Structure 1
Amino acid sequence: MVAPPIELADIFRDHGPAYRASRAGHLCLAELKVMSAIEHCRTATLGGHVEGCDECGHLRVAYNSCRNRHCPRCQGAAARDWLNDREADLLPVGYFHVVFTLPAEVAAVAFQNKAAVYDLLFRASVETMTRIAADPKHLGARIGLTAVLHTWGSAMTHHPHVHMIVPGGGLSPDGVRWISSRPAFLLPVRVLGALFRRLFLEGLVALHRAGKLTFYGPLAHLADAKTFVRHLAPVRRKRWVVYTKPPFAEPQAVLAYLSRYTHRVAISSRRITAFDGRTVTFRVKDYRQDGAARHRTLTLEADEFIRRFLLHVLPRGFHRIRHYGFLTGPNRKAGIERLRRLIGEPGTAMSREHSTGATSTETSGCWSRWMQRRHPPRSCWRRS
């Protein structure tokens, strides 16, 4: 007999009360709300409704969801709804995946100043992409992108980084042509890393001077301006790595890929393999290893497991999914339709001249596959 799957909510219901009691006065309101929402999600506590089948007339009672953005149960449906809304924004071009990551010395500052530093991470990474893309020496175009904040590593440690999904090209400065990137190259990552480091550190120092950063515990000494500058000195000399992946096989693959990032939480229930009331075992990836050795399991005390999960509770009202460039604005839909026409019309789409000698026809042909996305069948269940 197959054992029932272990849900994150099971761990919170079993060990959550003891965790709250042992840390009374040390948990913020946002963390307490997340714990309560996950524990009560799809239980009688939140009420329910009756669903009926249109074909057979069978009725069943379904309990309501908490709809908290940190709840793994609720984010699957939220991701599907969000993707249906964003499907109209897809362009018939290749899409790149770009990742901007903060070094450990700065991540510690970010944890104590989540709203300010996470927002700076968005601003610095997006300005880096748009500025380098607009440079005539590189792409020379106005790009659009979707950015998603993640704050965790595979083991749920604090690891803030931004994932970007970027169309392979952009609008020319005069606004009349689509400029395509190379089929497997968007922008130079070393140039991106250097500019990102400068913009972020300048912004971080500005936040400190404006008194918008707070420090406590082992970082309390960083409240002094000179000490803070000395703390950042090694980071200024370090190379900040920007990671980029090759384009997706076809635009539809972007939707499936994006759904795994936009509404992901620190850990999904399917990664949890065991819970004995005292310890939690779950699957992790060790990115320092290759092949089968990369996948392993990690066992933590239940207290430590919950603590790591709560590291990633975002400030109230903070937007972790953001759109920029031609993917935003009041006339976004009309602009997207115009871009589709520019990409599809001969003579309006062009590519940068590269050493490969690829023509605009050859470059645009790399992204010619454009099939209509197939939606999964809807359930016959309706709410009564």
Structure 2
Amino acid sequence: MNKQESLQGVFSKAQRMVFNSYSKSVFGQLSTCRTLSNGYHLSQCSDCGHQQMQFHGCGNRHCLFCGHFGREQWVGQRRAELLPTTYYHVVFTLPHELNGLVMGNRTLLYNLLLESSSQTLIQFGKDPKYLGAEIGITSVLHTWGQNLSFHPHVHCIVSGGGFDGNQWQNSKRVSGKFLFPVGAMKIVFKGILMKGLRKLRPKLRLDKLNFEDLLSQIGQKAWNVYAKRPFGGAMGVLEYLGRYTHRIAISSSRITEVGQTTVSFNYKDYADGSKVKQMTLSHEEFLRRFEQHILPRYFVKIRHYGYLRNRGKQERLKQILASLQLSERKPIPKLTVEQFMQEKYGTGLGKCPCCGEGRMVSIAVTYSHRCEPIQASFQVRNKASPV
């Protein structure tokens, strides 16, 4: 039994645990990914008649094995939005004292975290002392730590310049190490988010939490805003996007062993010099931690702000390119899976693995093991056996 099959067995146990119906449905999809339950494509070579069956993936955004093609497509489309400027990486983290409140109000507080962090950056960008223009921001919500603990934070990719409506403005900070002063960002972020918490108070589920005591606790401590040094050019931005935007709580490569009752995985212990260590959890504890990172249904975790906000974005980008005296970028076409494999890996996905000459053509497809296969019309050039 391979790693995916072993993990599917673990995920199937979630149906017997105390999770909400939506989380159980997610685990249900993960447990049947690339199995007969999801249906299959049956292909046959146009020359030699060789046949092969490919089971469908689940397509769930929390899956450890799906999404690679979609991620690459998304990153490719972002390439057309990159500008000849420095890009910075800023991380906004919620105090751990808020974890209990967030768990009971995920949609409201994830939205508040994303909006508060973007407002902080936009406020500093519009300050004439730093830029005096509207910056571009791509924000990505993460909810996990390396050991699958609950750790809500937002990664922001921020342009080093901005558009004032007429022309492009570059940063006025001489060193260029950080776009805005981190200490000041901590104060502003804290103020915006705490104000938002008070505004949301009537909508929040508090259970046994004392709201005023909680605000007092977080108000007395320094909040964590981390600003990394600039990326190494546009390709550094794209590399980051590919690694972080479509990540889930844990990648399959970090999982080292799936036993009868336990799951073991590697993690970096940042409190101990980022040493790589191994953690072993029972199946039940692994599922409990994983479930904390299942996003609310339809929740959008990747968002764009500033001049990259969706409404009117293409027109703004045209104005910015014109102000920089750059030609307009052509939209990057979406590739098929076969074109993507050929371009990225030099592998012809449609070529027959048996004879190496013919083309694999779909002859039957089903989307559930309960459905009859849909037959496709197909003729083999030689006298291969029919399906």
Q: Secondary structure at the match of 2:170?
A: strand
1:207 aligns with 2:200: yes
Aligned AA for 1:250?
Answer: G
Contact 1:178 1:342 in 2 (8 A): no
CA distance in 2, matches of 1:232, 1:314: 25
Compute the displacement of 1:113 (Å).
0.5
2:144 to 138, 152, 167: 152
* Gap regions ≥5 residues in structure 1: 346-373
In 1, Cα distance between equivalents of 2:128 and 2:46: 59
More helix by share: 1
Q: Tell me the residue number matched to 1:299.
A: 280
| Contact 1:41–1:64 (CA under 8 A) maintained in structure 2 | yes
2:99 is aligned to 107
- Please report how far the alpha carbon of residue 284 of structure 1 lies from its aligned counterpart in structure 2 after TM superposition: 0.5
> Deviation at 1:176?
2.3
Displacement of 1:375 in angstroms is 5.5
Partner of 2:208 in structure 1? 221
- 2:192 alignment partner AA: L
Unaligned runs of 5+ in 2: 327-341, 351-360, 363-387
Partner of residue 329 from structure 1, selected from 310, 316, 323: 310
**CA shift at 1:289, angstroms?**
2.0
Post-superposition CA distance 1:133-152 (Å, at most 9, x none): 11112222111110000000
> Counterpart in 1 of 2:189?
196
Q: Give the residue type in structure 2 aligned to 1:286.
A: D
TM-score normalised to structure 2 length: 0.81
Among candidates 178, 185, 189, match of residue 185 of structure 1: 178
Whether 1:11 aligns to 2:25 is no
- Map of 1:350 onto structure 2: none
Please tell me the root mean square deviation across aligned C-alpha atoms, in Å.
Answer: 2.2
Q: Which residue of 1 aligns with 2:349?
A: 381
Partners of 1:57 and 1:247 in 2: CA distance: 54
Equivalent in 42, 47, 50 of residue 42 of structure 2? 50
Report the secondary structure of 1:161's partner residue. Answer: strand
- Asked if structure 2 preserves the Cα contact closer than 8 Å seen for 1:89 and 1:333, the reply is no
Please state if 1:20 is matched with 2:15. Answer: yes
Match for 1:128 among 120, 123, 140?
Answer: 120
The answer (yes or no) to whether the contact 1:30–1:313 under 8 Å persists in 2 is no
Residue 233 of structure 1 aligns with which residue?
A: 216
The one of 79, 85, 88 aligned to 2:80: 88
Partner SS state of residue 38, structure 1: helix
Residue by residue, what CA displacement relative to the aligned partner does 1:265-293 show, whole Å, maximum 9, x if unpaired?
001111000122111110001111226xx
Residues 155 and 169 of structure 1: CA distance in aligned 2, closer, same or farther (over 3 Å) = same
Is contact 1:143-1:325 (8 Å) kept? Answer: yes
Aligned match for 1:176, one of 151, 161, 167? 167
Contact 2:11-2:30 at 8 Å conserved across structures: no
Q: Per-residue deviation at 1:330? A: 3.9
Matched, 1:284 2:236: no
> 1:254, CA displacement in angstroms?
1.1
Distance in 1, Cα, partners of 2:35 & 2:205: 39
State the Cα distance separating 1:337 from its structure 2 match: 3.5
* 3-state DSSP of counterpart to 2:271: coil
Aligned residue number for residue 110 of structure 2: 118
**C-alpha displacement of 1:56:** 8.1
What letter matches 1:11 in structure 2? Answer: L
**Cα distance, 1:258 vs. partner?**
0.7
- Rounded Cα–Cα distance in structure 2 between residues aligned with 1:190 and 1:67: 41
In structure 1, C-alpha distance between the alignment counterparts of 2:84 and 2:155, rounded to whole Å: 21
Whether contact under 8 Å (2:150, 2:292) holds in the other structure is: yes
Rg larger for = 2
Mapped to 2, the partners of 1:111 and 1:260 lie a distance apart of 26
SS of the aligned residue for 2:34 comes to coil
* 2: CA distance, partners of 1:127 / 1:52: 55
Deviations 1:82-113 (A, max 9, x none): 11222211112221111000001112211110
TM-score by length of 1: 0.81
Query: Does structure 2 retain, via aligned residues, the 8 Å contact 1:40–1:66?
Result: yes
Shift of 1:339: 2.1
**Post-superposition shift, 1:204?**
0.8
Shift of 1:317: 1.0
